[in-house]
Amino acid sequence: MKVSVHGKIFISGEYGVVHQTHALLAPTENTMEFEITNALKTSIYSEKFNDTFYPDEGLTMPKPLKKAYLIALDYLNTLSTEVKHFDLKIHSTLDLHDIKLGLGSSAALSIGIIKSILLYHDIQITPLELYKLSVLSIKGEMEVNSYGDVALAAFGEWILYKKFDYLWLKDYLNLPINKLIKKPWKGLKIEPFSPKNNPFMIINTLKPARSKVLVKNFNQALNDKSKQHFFQKTNDLTLAIHKDLKNGVLKEATFLKSAELYASLNKTYNLNLVNKTMIDIYTLLKPHINGFKISGAGGGDNIIVYVSTSFVKEKITQILTEYNYPIITLKE
């Protein structure tokens, strides 16, 4: 049995989404692949960690892998399902050798492990329930994690996303898992959609971001009033971009308003969201584009450019190939 999980790109709303404003995410063609088969004892091989783990032998497993494995078993137990041994192999194109591409590999790992184990035990689960199980496996991060990458990994489609009310969820964590994932979560919104046009090119900088540090700097630099003002603006722009993508009428000017908002924030508060490599890439592409937007927490990973024609896309591709900058292809 095989399971494929897509990587993610934040198109808009990445900072405010932790505070329950909207975010827009797109799936990549890069995936994490899972193959699960019958076995006499349970083993999990992960290309990411370059090792095979044997959970029944009590050996130490990396936390992301262990948490997903345990929540899947906990869920099977609540359903009174007998746990069978299996061999799970995990391969990925979400990272480039030892370089993180910022495509949500940890979320993909969690979703893929849970889904594979449940399907192996003939348990059918919806994308929404899968998302909730993964959130519960890393519930210790509810205040600081948006789980947008988890939502994208679970649904594998373009999504408009809004985080659940984590204070509300904390009050229900004592419920059995099978009941909690069936319950509507206050504030949660995951709306899959298909864009009628996709004018974006995603360029990887080969400079991994330190997202938690950048988010911390953001929170320290801005007072509550400034943050709320910024969140409202990004929320409005995210909804506008979403609407225009659905209708196939997204204009470059609308997208660049989002880019300009981040650029202004970066300049005003000296947040170092934009690094030298981003500027170097923009300088190379300047004859063909009018600007770029950071994706995710900034400071590395990926940038997004708006490409108006296939001719321009070809020119940009030639330049990026010449300078060895990877292009991240979005799933249509």
| Average pLDDT score over residue span 281-304 | 89
* Torsion, CA 156, CA 114, CA 104, CA 166, rounded to 10: 90
Q: pTM of the entire structure?
A: 0.95
CA 280 to mean position of chain CA atoms: 25
Domain-terminating residue out of 151, 167, 193: 193
We report the CATH number of the domain holding residue 115 as 3.30.230.10
Q: Does the pLDDT of residue 141 top 70, yes or no?
A: yes
Q: Does the pLDDT of residue 211 top 80, yes or no?
A: no
**DSSP-assigned letter for residue 330:** B
Sign of CA dihedral 209, 257, 147, 249: negative
| Average pLDDT score over residue span 64-78 | 96
Cβ atoms within 10 Å of 255's Cβ, excluding its own: 26
Residues 15 and 218 sit within 8 Å (Cβ to Cβ) = yes
Residue span of the structural domain in which 84 resides? 2-193
44 and 92 part of one domain: yes
208 and 324 part of one domain: yes
Q: Does the pLDDT of residue 279 top 90, yes or no?
A: yes
The C-alpha atoms of residue 220 and residue 231 are separated, in whole angstroms, by 15
10 and 148 part of one domain: yes
285 and 215 part of one domain: yes
Q: Does the pLDDT of residue 52 top 90, yes or no?
A: yes
| Average pLDDT score over residue span 194-220 | 86
248 and 125 part of one domain: no
20 and 123 part of one domain: yes
pLDDT value of position 265: 85
Q: Does the pLDDT of residue 15 top 90, yes or no?
A: no
Confidence at 35, pLDDT banded by 50, 70, 90: very high
Structural domains of the chain, count: 2
Q: Does the pLDDT of residue 177 top 90, yes or no?
A: yes
pLDDT value of position 207: 85
133 and 9 part of one domain: yes
3-state DSSP assignment of residue 117: helix
pLDDT value of position 151: 98
**DSSP-assigned letter for residue 139:** G
